Every structure is written in structure tokens, then in C-alpha cells.
Structure 1
């Protein structure tokens, strides 16, 4: 190897390689079981290329030289790390020097079984209107600004390499918690494993440890990420994986995008995480749901037993209360029953059905109010007498059943997460949020139209003021109910790690308080503050009081007669 001649910097590096002392021994050793033998074979090929071609390698030659997977050493981790580190650095340096020798504007790529290399060569100033470049190797991508490559009147290159199997060598054995930057709210991180191919990126005429403009990488996951797993963007730092200088931009089940302020070899590391439980939020949830269950039960009794208020509107309130009561009860009993999976899926399907049914009954309330106000001349809201209970039952409970059945048929794995029994977020959650948003928009248009009609009627018809006032009050209550029961769900979209503190905590507390006290709202507005309910209870109280007084009078009278008779 010392006979290698050439002016190229990578060819000169071969002379200085610290493995050159042992390569002649390792390449001839028949019993060698570690990665040194394979690595030295690559260096020997490179040496011969230097001797024969005077360093005029093509990208295909580079791929052929390094299309050898270093084997895992049986001696220790440090030796494995040393061999792989030198392998990665040599592949990058040689490919980069080859890219520099290519004509400006050239974009080349070569694909082999164990690695894919793509290069880009530029010279001169960047086009400010089109300075962003994207390179792709084996479905992994690298995005960068060409300012990082070129300087005025200078030539530079970018190299992006994807390794098919090297991640199986420098795997989770080379992970240390001390080298990972984690969030403060994470209690435990364990079960590390690489979940992407290893890639290398080299940019710029001069190699620097810090980039003025970060480079982004997009990795495809080897296995789908689970709910309780977190992605880490890591780079290979000689003997271990580290997150220093890299951060996750976005991540879903199938891919993760990273941003890094330096260049090296990168991969995606997945870890199972356990989040710290917010005791205050948990208490708010369970206390709020407990109060809601009590209030919904009392509201259902009022709607069933108070004959004075029994009409179509009360019937709709009753069905809504029943759906929310069952949903809250199921939440308290089964939201964390993640094992066995089939039970968790059934519980998630129950949530899906009950919450959809609640929103369908809210839609019927909005439709009923709209039809009622359209014809105020008909007394006792008989303009909405077209509502038939059979029709409402089939619509209110049938439509959610159809949506759940279709969703389960299309994606049965969409029910049940790893940590809670609810719908999976990626795509499938829209089988719930889609109908909810449609219902919210339709009801909002119903209520705004109703208020507009009432405004006109109130200014033109004095003789119907009481009826209009009642309708307007009912509409305001329904509109408030729409925001309390419906729009509060939109806050759930903002409950993610991209929202900084303390905004995230404020959203979490607001979402929890509003959603856990929905039953309390229904009982207060439709029962406690209802004038008809108050009058009905006053009448009943008077009847009970009068009956009690009568019983006392009869009892006292009969007692007096008994004493007189006894005296006689």
C-alpha cells in the first residue's frame, strides 16, 4: 500500500491509514472473524485503483470498492466501532473527492446491494431563487442550501450515501442515555433500537464542524412507530450514537424528518417512553367525569319524570345525555385497559360510536330548532312535529353504527393504541373528526340562521314576543352547548410537543376541564336554570307541602278524638 502514488487527497490518505500496518496480515488471514479483514479488502482495492488509474476513479468504482459490509468483531465493541468509523469516513472522503473531479452541474448516482451513492457538483455563485437542493438515496433524502457548497469562483460538491445493512452492526449496543437529549416530562426511556438505514452526508468545499444553515434529512422507518415510542435523530460519534446538534422536525408512523447543524453519519433511533403523569390533570379528569356522571343521571331523570317539559326538545336532550353518560362511564372503566388488544379495540369502538351518536343528536337538536323558528305561527313548536321518534332513533343511533362499521371494515387495526383505548391518530382519527367537523359547521349555520330569523321576527311581531324570546333563549343555549361539547374537541389538535410551554399546559388544562364537565353544563342549563323545570318543581313542592300539612292535620285531629274517646 505504501507504493500508492497520486496527487488526490483521498489517495494520499491511503498512505497514512493506521490500518495499513495490519492489512497485509488481515487480508491473508484465513481465520479472521472480525470486520478488519473486510475493511482491509476495501482499502487494498482502493490502493490498487490508486496505483493503476492514478486516482481517476468513477463513482461506480467507488461503489464496487466499498460494497463490502464490515463484519462484527467478536473481540469488543470498541474495535467494532473503530473499524466502522474508519469505513464510513473513507467512503465519504473518496466519494467526495470523486464528485469534485466531475464537471460542474453533474448529478450522478450509483446503486449497489449494500450502499447507494448520489453526488452533486457545483461551481460559482448559487441561484438565490433556486438555492435549495434535494438528494435521494434508497428512499432517504437530504435537503440543503447550495450556499453551503459553493463560494464565489470556487467548486464544491455534495455527497449523500445510504447504507443498507451497516445499522445491524452499530446497533442499539452503541446507545447510551447520557448521549441523548430528552424532554423533561419523560420519566423513562428504554428499549432502544435503530429504525432506519444509516446515511452519510458530506457538503461543501471545506469540511466544517458547524453549518451556518442546518441540513435536513428524511428517514423511512424500517418498522412502523408505535404510540409509546419516540424518534431520536442521532449521528455516529466515533463509538456511540448521539443527538447533539440534531433535532426532530416531524415524525409519524412511517417516517421522521431531522434537522442537523453538522455533517456525519445519521440514523433514526426509536425508544420506548413513559411520560410522567400530571397528577392535577388526572384528578380534574376523574373528579370532573364523576360530577358529569351524577349530573347526567339527574338530568335524564328530570327529562323522563317532569311531564311539563316533555316535548321533542326534551327528548333530544335525553338522548344526548344518555350517550354522554355511557361514554363517560366507559372512559372511567376502560380507557387504560390496553390488554388484551381485542378488548381495547372494542372499548375504542365503543367510544367512537357513543361520541359520534352524541354529535348526531346535537345535529338533530340544531335541525329541530331551525325548523321550529322557521314557522313561529304554529304554537307549541308544532312546526317541528315532522320529527318522528322512529325516524330520530334510526338516524341518531343508526348513522354512527354505519360509520363505525365501515371504519372497522376498512382498518380494524385503527382501534386501540399502545397506551390508551382510543382511535389511532395517523389518518384513522378522521373517521371521528371528519363527521364531527361537518356536524359542527352545519349546526353553526343552523344556529346563526335561527338567530337572524329571530332578530327579524322580534322587531316586527310584538304579539309573539314571548314565543320568540323562548326560542331565542333555547337557541343561545344550544349554541353554547355546541361550543362546550363540540368545539372543545378542536383543542385536542394542539396537544402535541410542537407547542411550547406554558401554552401547551394551558391548552391541556382547558381541554380537560371543558370536556370533563360537559354533563354538569347540561344539567345546569337544561334543568336547574330552566324556568319550566323550576315552575314544575315549585308546583310539586307545594303539592307535597300541602299533602304533608293535610296529613299532619288529619293525624292531629284523629289523635285528639282518640284522647277524648279514651277519656270517656
Structure 2
């Protein structure tokens, strides 16, 4: 071992061992098994041939570690033949140190298992039909405030991509991986959520999201009561609120219980996928709302008249939910390991985050274009109204209407996602991050005030409810209130 370059020495040992072990694979018509035990290395090689009749997959076991691999399925993709080599190293901790897992995190990392490797020597098609499972015995005690990670070696550090903790108890853990490599079980004391977290930012985030959820709930309640009034709500606005409510609620719960969810990598990945879908759906509804706003402003003379929705609500539903579902489905198909980062979000490896940022950037750019077009239309309309001298009184009324539309349009531009642009710059300024968290958590608040609190018909409805509630709370008018209602 080269003491100055332990990682290089570890990689050399792994590569040479795999090369030597591959020579143990011999052609066979049925099955062949070889097992070697050395001081610091245990090896088991199992091969199947075209005439092998296995009712179930072989369970390979070395040095308190078992591997369950679908060798039968692999052989079917290789003309009936396949071989697997399973190796366990007891002298790798010094070379492939657990400190190389999340090296930027100032936490204590302890190796909880021996280092094991699995390969498919002399096998052409090495694609796994099903994930491979490792049942690993712990070599150290498991403290209550620790987090376990199933990791694999990528030549320079331990990473979790493609592996997740299936189940665990005091003495054993089961790791499931979508590929073969060199694996280990690493324990990290003090979950990473407490390492880099800022208590003040966390509190601001929780309070802001909670307030936004409250107003989103009030908005949806109002929309449900006024669902037949086109001046209050529409399909796009309602579904935007639903998507934002579900996305922010799931995000809030995930962050609150992150230390319990994160060790369950499958659950963490599923939640990341659901969040991906909900936020994409919210952005699609923002775009639809921007398009409908553009159509409404383009026909300013018809603002006061009751109109049906420009597009069928069934068509809008398909656009608002099917498109995000397709994007998430393609993302899962192309890079299934991209979900489940430390924050139970999308991983940044291989540019996978662009499966979210790409559609978001496209929608924000389209909304910017629509917003500029809306302003041009409004300004043009104002100028034309000023030129109608013979209709001064009418012009003044229309100008008041258009100015109101301008104000609402400016706020609508925020509602349809313009504040998300700040997210590209939050890494450079903490204050900007606070502003970003505030504005994006308060989309529901602004929707409530613009479409409910500032809507005359809704205010009258609120006033009627308040009077009825006040009357019901007065003992001397309770009987009269019951008769009237």
C-alpha cells in the first residue's frame, strides 16, 4: 500500500483482484462454483450454463454478507450462460476510508461493514433484470442518532447513487442496488440536515410556507363556493392553487421529517418524484393562466361581459397534468437514480436537475414574452382612448378600468411565477434567498388577495357570511337569524 496515495492503492487492488478472479470462470454446461478464503479476502464465483436447471437464484454468502442476484435472468440474456464473482475485503478501510463519503460534510462517518465487490466476469450483457440485494451484518454498534447509507465506490469517493437502504435492524441491513460495483455500508452520525442547516432560515421557511398554505386553502374554499361565477375563478386558477397547495404541503412535511425520511432512500426518491410532478404541474398551470390573461387583455372591450372560458376545461386538465407526467415519466425512464438527494429532491449528477430547470426556464421565458405583449396592448389601448375626445367621460371610465387591469396584470406576473427567476441567484446572497423563499411561498397569499379579497362580488359574499356569523353569535338575535336563514 502507498501510504501517500491510499485511494490509488485501493483502486489497484480492486482492479487486479477482479482481473484475477475472472480467470476462475470456466465454461460449464450446468453449474460451477469456486470459493477461496484468504487472510484479507474471500471470493465466491458461481457460473451457470445452458443446461443448468435452477429453480431459484443462488444465494452467495461470504464473510457475513449475502448477495441475492437474478443470475437466471442474466443468463437468459447471454445465451443461457452467465457468471458472478462476489468478493469481500477486510483490509480496505484504510485505503477506501469512510471519510470519503460526503467529504464536504463535517460529520463522523464509520464503516459499518466489510467492503464487498460484485462483478459479472466473462458475461457480455451485464444489464441487471432486477436490482441486486445485499444482506450485510454490522461490524459496529448502531447509535440511535445515526443514519445508515448504502454506498458504492466510484474511483475517488463513496456515493449513494443507484443504491438505497431497503431495510435495517440492530444487527443487519439490506441494501438494494441497480448496478454492480464495490459496495459498503457507512454510518453517519448527526444527519446532514443538521450540519449545514440555518435554524433562522428553517424557521422563516416553515412559517412562510405555512402562511401560504393557509391562504391557498382559503382561496380554494372561496373558489369552491363561487365555482359557477366566471368573474371569480377559472379552471387554470383553481388547478394552479391545487398544485401549489399539494406541492408546498408535501415539501413542508418532507423538510420537517427529513431526518426520518432520508434513511429510507426508496421513500425519499418517491417523494422527490412526486414533488417534481407537482411543481412542474404548477408551472404549466402558471403558463396556462398567463395565456388566458393575454387573451383577456387582448379583448379589453369584453372584460365586463360574462364569457365562457376560451379553452375547454377538459383540454386544460390534460395539458396541466399530462405534460408534467410525461416529463417525469421520461426522466424516470432515462435516469431512474436521479431522484432522492440529501434533501429528498432531484440529484445534480449528470445534469439531471435540468429535467426540472429546463421546463421551468422555458415557461418563465414564455411568460415574460406574454407579459411584455400584455403591457404593449394595454399601453396601446390607453393611447387610443385618450384620442377619443368626444367620449371623454367614457374614456375616463375605461381608463380607470384599464389602469385597474394594469395593476392586476403586474401582480398576475408575479402569480404566474416571475419570482422563481430569483432562484438562479440565491447561492450568492443570503438576503436574496430570504426574498426568494418569501415570494415563492406567498403565491397563494397574492392569489387570495387579488382574486378574492379585492373582488367586489367575493367581498360582498364575505360580508354576508360575517353578518350571518355575527348574528348567530348574539343570543338575543339567534332566533331571528334562524328564521331568516
TM-score range relative to shorter protein: 0.5 to 0.7
Which residue matches 2:146?
A: none
Q: CA RMSD in A?
A: 4.4
Matched position secondary structure for 2:267: helix
Aligned residues: 318
Unmatched 5+ stretches in structure 1: 1-71, 73-79, 89-112, 114-167, 193-219, 229-269, 559-568
Q: How many angstroms does 1:319 deviate by? A: 1.2
Written as runs of structure 1 = structure 2, the 5 A alignment for 1:84-123 is: none
Rounded Cα–Cα distance in structure 2 between residues aligned with 1:555 and 1:530: 30
Seen in structure 2, the aligned counterparts of structure 1 residues 357 and 307 have a Cα distance that, compared at 3 Å, is closer
The alpha carbon displacement at 1:434 in A equals 0.5
Within-5 A mapping of 1:192-271? 222=155, 226=159
Give the distance between the partners of 1:176 and 1:279, measured in 2 at CA.
31
Find out whether 1:188 has 2:107 as its counterpart. Answer: yes
User: Offset of 1:381 from its aligned partner?
Assistant: 6.1
The answer to whether residue 316 in structure 2 is matched with residue 396 in structure 1 is: no
Kindly tell me: are residues 81 and 524 of structure 1, through their superposed partners in 2, closer, same or farther at Cα, counting changes over 3 Å? same
State the secondary structure of the residue aligned to 1:188: coil
The alpha-carbon distance between structure 1 residues 507 and 468, as it changes in their structure 2 partners (threshold 3 A), is closer
In the alignment, the residues of structure 1 paired with residue 474 and residue 92 of structure 2 have an alpha-carbon distance, to the nearest angstrom, of 86
Q: Specify which of 356, 361, 372 is matched with residue 437 of structure 1.
A: 361
For 2:278, the equivalent position in structure 1 comes to 354
C-alpha displacement of 1:471: 2.8
1:472 Cα deviation from its structure 2 partner: 2.2
Q: Distance in 1 between matches of 2:421 and 2:305?
A: 28
> SS of the residue aligned with 2:109?
strand
- Assess if the C-alpha contact under 8 Å between 2:339 and 2:345 holds in 1: yes
Aligned-partner Cα distance in 2 for 1:521–1:227: 40
Matched, 1:173 2:97: no
The equivalent residue for 1:290 is: 210
- Of 374, 377, 381 in structure 2, the residue corresponding to residue 457 of structure 1 is 381
Between the aligned partners of 2:305 and 2:421, the Cα distance in structure 1 is 28
CA distance in 2: counterparts of 1:555 and 1:314, whole angstroms: 37
Q: Is the 8 A contact 1:488 1:515 kept in 2?
A: no
- Deviation digits for residues 189-208 of structure 1 (CA, Å, limit 9, x no counterpart): 5359xxxxxxxxxxxxxxxx
Matched, 1:536 2:461: yes
**1:150-177 deviation digits (Å, cap 9, x = unpaired):** xxxxxxxxxxxxxxxxxx9x98638999
The one of the two structures with greater contact order (alpha-carbon pairs below 8 A, sep at least 6) is 2
SS of the residue 2:340 aligns to: coil
- Structure-1 residue corresponding to 2:345: 422
Find out whether 1:377 has 2:301 as its counterpart. yes
Q: Is the 8 A contact 1:372 1:382 kept in 2?
A: no
Q: Using a 3 Å threshold, how does the CA distance of structure 1 residues 382 and 394 change in structure 2: closer, same or farther?
A: farther
Could you tell me the TM-score, scaled by structure 2's length?
0.55
Partner of 2:78 in structure 1? none
Residue 435 of structure 1 deviates from its aligned partner by: 0.6
Change (3 A) 1:521 1:488: farther
TM-score normalised to structure 1 length: 0.48
What are the superposed Cα offsets for residues 29-59 of structure 1, whole Å, 9 maximum, x if unpaired? xxxxxxxxxxxxxxxxxxxxxxxxxxxxxxx
Decide whether the 8 Å contact of 2:243 with 2:279 is kept in 1. Answer: yes
| Structure 1 position 316, deviation (Å) | 2.4
Instruction: Please say if 1:365 is aligned against 2:289.
Output: yes
Contact 1:303 1:310 in 2 (8 A): no
Q: Report which of the two structures shows the higher radius of gyration computed on alpha carbons.
A: 1
Structure 1 segment 509-528 matched on structure 2, within 5 A = 509-528=434-453
CA–CA separation in structure 2 for the residues paired with 1:290 and 1:554: 38
Q: Relative to structure 1, is the Cα distance of residues 341 and 520 closer, same or farther in structure 2, using a 3 angstrom cutoff? A: same
How many Å separate the matches in 1 of 2:98 and 2:244? 44
Report deviation, 1:519.
2.9
